[in-house]
Amino acid sequence: MRLLIEHALSLLPFSDCNVECPSGLIYAGKRRKARLICGVSILRAGETMETALREVLKDCIISKILIQTNPDSMEPELYYLTLPKEISSYHILLMDATVATGAAAMMAIRILLDHDVPEENITLLALLMAETGVQSVAYAFPKVRLVTTAVDKQLSPNYHIIPGIGNFGDRYFGTELQPCSDKLEYDCASDG
């Protein structure tokens, strides 16, 4: 995850500067123009990138957006939001572990735009994206940068990425349900 964060940071604007090395020599280097950077996690799986972001940018502000899919309509719904007051002046690293249809990511981007964040100041990071999600986000928000490690081609009927990685949040946090067979039901129930 750290490599994903570092690559996203390398895409931010830089300016030339002179750096004095410990040996006293001057080196023509680069300095990031973006002074204000905010990580925004799309909960819950986006939180998995926060540690890597803190390792790279120790003083980075991290905000949260909880968007869940309504099981009846399959549409995203906003449940929780925290953003800094001056969010419009920040470069945003919008973090989610996976982007399947792109619906939650697009809602999060729309929320940031509604808070006056310029579209070109938003970078969407995901470990895995589906082609559908990439196309949807890129079409709706052409100035948003997309950074991922891989793009899978398909979605299941339940809108999971195929072949994908399953529910990344459940796997990462260890909350994946373990099915019990009828034969072992008593043993599973008595483990507590």
pLDDT score of 20 more than 80: yes
- Residues 45-70 pLDDT 10s: 888 889 999 999 998 999 999 988 78
CA dihedral 86, 114, 64, 98 (to 10 degrees): -130
pLDDT of residue 162: 78
CB atoms under 10 Å from CB of 112, counted, come to 26
Q: Go through the domains of the chain in sequence order and give each one's CATH number.
A: 2-177 (3.40.50.2020)
pLDDT band at 192 (very low <50, low <70, confident <90, very high): very low
Q: What are phi and psi of 106, to 5 degrees?
A: -65, -35
Q: Which amino acid is at 177?
A: L
